[in-house]
Structures are given as C-alpha cells and as structure tokens.
Amino acid sequence: MAKYMLIMRGTDETNAKMMETSFDEMLTTMGRFNEELIRAGVLVAAEGLDDAAQGVVVDHSGETPVVTDGPYGETKELFGGFYILDVATKEEAVEWAKRMPAFPGAKTEIRRVPSIEEFPQDNEWIIKEKAWRERTGQI
C-alpha cells in the first residue's frame, strides 16, 4: 500500500459554480463520496480549505520573506482541499479521483506521499521524526 494525495484544484468558473451550490448539497455529495472511501478502507485524511481571500502567502524569493494577504489573481494555482488515500497503486488513486464529485472544469492532481521508511534511517532528523510519530501513534 502507498499513500497518495488527491489535490482538488478549481478555476474561477468552477469556484463561482461551487458558490452557487447550497452548503447542505455540497456536504451531502462529498459525504457520500467520503463514505465510499471509508467503506473501502482507503481514507487516511480529507480536508477542505477556507476561502483563499482569508489566507496569506509567505514569499521566500527575496532576501527577506514577504507576507502578502489574499485574494490572489491566479486561482488556477490554488487548491481547495485534499484527500490522502492509502491504496495499492497510483492507478487505484486515479480511479478514486475519477469518482470524486467535482464541478465542470475542476482538476485533481495526484501525488504520492513518500513513506518515512524511504528516507535514510540513520539520519538524526529522521530518527527524531520517527520517534515523534511513534509517540503520537502515527506509526
């Protein structure tokens, strides 16, 4: 099994369409999909994100980090939420993404989440992180 992150991306048009949909309808639609993931035993985490206008960006491209408040001009670079699934293959993650409720024009990016076991096990920072994960019940 491997973990894959499904990153939900929208455009200005899909975000506008989403805002026209009642919150209860969205909860019902996503709740049904979440239930499928839970029944299949593949859901690790899922979260939606607040409006980008409420966020900030810390830009590290200069000598000193610069903080900029939202909203942002390029919504195609933003994502609205994510799922982390524990599935056997990338192809299985793709199949779940195809079933995800989405508005026309939305996209889902799929990225594998490397296991901590894939990093050098003798590195002091990996050792510390593994100890923290064990203390918090993550492994």
pLDDT tens for 111-137 read 999 988 999 999 999 999 999 999 999
pLDDT at 64: 95
Do 13 and 105 touch, CB atoms closer than 8 A? yes
Residue 91, token pair as written in the block: 């192809």
Do 100 and 6 touch, CB atoms closer than 8 A? yes
Alpha helices in 1-139 (DSSP H): 12-20, 23-40, 90-99, 124-135
Question: Which pLDDT band, with edges at 50, 70 and 90, does 74 fall under?
Answer: low
CB atoms within 10 A of CB 17: 15
Per the listing, tokens 């960006």 go with 57
Over residues 1-53, the pLDDT tens digits come to 899 999 988 877 887 888 888 888 988 999 999 999 999 999 999 998 887 77
Whether a cis peptide bond, with omega within 30° of 0, leads into 71 is: yes
The CATH number of the domain covering residues in 2-135: 3.30.70.1060
